[in-house]
Structure 1
Amino acid sequence: MKNFYQKYKELVFCILLPLLIITIRYDDIKGSFFLNAIELIQTAGIITHSDITQGSKPRHRFDIRYQYEVKGKLYESDRVGFGFKGSDNRKSVESIVTKYTKEKKITVYFDRLNPEFSVLEPERNDRFGFILVVIIIFCCFISSIYLIKKKNK
């Protein structure tokens, strides 16, 4: 097994990395590319937390949390859009935090079949970022195959 890993470690990495990304970002990918397959229902909610935090990439992140109720059960989420978490432009993040101030009554969109899956702005997504990641992973995969073939010669 160790010999197999040594021989094909680049290929293993290029298979595991996309699986890891898909697992971690599944809901954002689902919302960005397959929103038509989800039946979103509207309900009332309330903002419970609204702040700006500092990160490395993006530098400014919004931290917005909200609660909503479906069939008597209370849910909490922090998803404003799909994939979009902030910006290097502070004013862009400030405009979102200003829009969703603490205690503000809001409209929440949730999946009829999975009420835990919710979003405030279903049209806000990061398709470009996800497509870029897919292209990079594809290039890594092709490079790995090339390196493996080159090693085997």
Structure 2
Amino acid sequence: MLRKFGTLALVFFWALFTLGADVLILQDPARDLLALGWPSVTGTITHSSVRELRGKGTTYHLDVRYTYDVGGQHFQGVRYRHFNRGLPDRGEVEERARRYAVGTEVPVFHSPGDPSRAVLEPGVTGGDLFMLMVLLPFNLVLVGITLSPLRRKAPGGTVSPEQRAGRLYVTLDDTSPVVAGAYGAGYTTLACIVLVGIPTRFHPSLPLVALAWAAILLVSLFAAGWKRSRLASGHYELVVDPRARRLSLPAILDRKERRDVAWDDIRDITVETHTQTSSRGGTQTSYRPTLVLAAGDPERRQEALVDWADADRAAALADWLRARLKPRGRDADASLSA
């Protein structure tokens, strides 16, 4: 109960943080995108200068004012864009200021419902798409932790094999192609944030960000397609063949290829606890249903089937295999040698 409450609290606070950031950061770029459909009139620049702001770093902003007439009414605008981010390059902002020199006639895009709302440059910029890229990993995590409890799992940690041609098939990795694609998108996004953001001081051009988004999309599609093909080929399937009395173990964990194991060589089926320590000192525990094999190669006397974070799921697989295979017990080798 306490664990469930903790999970719900995590989802709530992560959703609050992520959705709040989405609204705060994306509302102005969304307005600039919608402004592409606004009507335009000719206006005149009345003021144009570069404003310097100092904080953790120095940024430069275009300070512009202009007048325009709509339906016989006179208006004064002050927005260059809704999302007027400062730039670290003073020269780039000065170039914009020269483009909007005092007295220059320019197209002014105004809201059809409220002509007092106007901008000079509607649409999205590289900075807008870069901020969307920064938000993407947070939103992927939010979707993942929200939908994770809704994933359909076998009830009570039971095993649901599929029977084909007299054999039983148990998929040991049921990660969907969609999830694999999300992982691909997330990792590629983090790489692009570093590779695109740092050299441009987090103010990349539109073509550069568009190229990064194309890379994110391609990697995501590749990861999803690769996972789909692996699942379709049965790569992750544990195959139980009652007639041949053999198991076929998938090429996962330390196995480079499939391994066939005779039932008579299996002495026991256990669940081994595997603990990893992170560089920060934290630990992560997983559970490995493991075949204990007859005496032979000392390095192959134990064969882990899969590595799962769910202890109940691992125990259920071990119990199901014991009921199916009826292993002879760890003392069988000693009895035979005697």
> Relative to structure 1, is the Cα distance of residues 35 and 50 closer, same or farther in structure 2, using a 3 angstrom cutoff?
closer
* Greater mean deviation of Cα atoms: 43-52 or 18-27: 18-27
Output the TM-score relative to the length of structure 1. Answer: 0.66
Pairwise mapping of residues 52-71 of structure 1 onto structure 2 (< 5 A)?
A: 52-55=50-53, 56=55, 59-71=59-71
Partners of 1:119 and 1:91 in 2: CA distance: 22
Q: Deviations over 1:51-76 (max 9, x none)?
A: 11122466111111222221233333
Partners of 2:26 and 2:9 in 1: CA distance: 26
Corresponding residue SS for 1:59? strand
* Greater mean deviation of Cα atoms: 40-49 or 130-139: 130-139
Q: Deviations over 1:32-66 (max 9, x none)?
A: 3x456x3x212121223211112246611111122
Q: Which residue of 2 aligns with 1:115?
A: 115
Question: Once the two structures are aligned, what percentage of the paired residues are identical?
Answer: 20
Does the 8 Å CA contact 1:81/1:124 hold for their aligned counterparts?
Answer: no
- Do residues 43 (structure 1) and 41 (structure 2) align? yes
Structure 1 segments, 4+ long, off by >4 Å, are none
CA displacement at 1:95 relative to structure 2: 0.4
> Relative to structure 1, is the Cα distance of residues 52 and 88 closer, same or farther in structure 2, using a 3 angstrom cutoff?
same
CA displacement at 1:108 relative to structure 2: 0.6
Q: Which residue of 1 aligns with 2:131?
A: 130
Partners of 1:128 and 1:111 in 2: CA distance: 23
Q: Which residue of 2 aligns with 1:8?
A: 9
CA displacement at 1:128 relative to structure 2: 1.5
* Greater mean deviation of Cα atoms: 116-125 or 44-53: 116-125
CA displacement at 1:115 relative to structure 2: 1.9
Output the TM-score relative to the length of structure 2. Answer: 0.34
> Relative to structure 1, is the Cα distance of residues 17 and 58 closer, same or farther in structure 2, using a 3 angstrom cutoff?
farther
Q: Which runs of 5+ in 1 are unaligned?
A: none
Partners of 2:58 and 2:82 in 1: CA distance: 15
Letter in 1 for 2:129: F
Does the 8 Å CA contact 1:60/1:89 hold for their aligned counterparts?
Answer: yes
> Relative to structure 1, is the Cα distance of residues 68 and 138 closer, same or farther in structure 2, using a 3 angstrom cutoff?
same
Q: Which residue of 2 aligns with 1:89?
A: 89
Does the 8 Å CA contact 1:47/1:66 hold for their aligned counterparts?
Answer: yes
Does the 8 Å CA contact 1:84/1:124 hold for their aligned counterparts?
Answer: no
Does the 8 Å CA contact 2:32/2:124 hold for their aligned counterparts?
Answer: no
> Relative to structure 1, is the Cα distance of residues 20 and 117 closer, same or farther in structure 2, using a 3 angstrom cutoff?
farther
> Relative to structure 1, is the Cα distance of residues 66 and 11 closer, same or farther in structure 2, using a 3 angstrom cutoff?
farther
Partners of 1:99 and 1:28 in 2: CA distance: 22
Corresponding residue SS for 1:102? coil
Corresponding residue SS for 2:121? coil
Structure with higher Rg: it is 2
Partners of 2:112 and 2:52 in 1: CA distance: 34
Q: Which runs of 5+ in 2 are unaligned?
A: 150-338
How many aligned residue pairs are there? 143
CA displacement at 1:92 relative to structure 2: 0.7
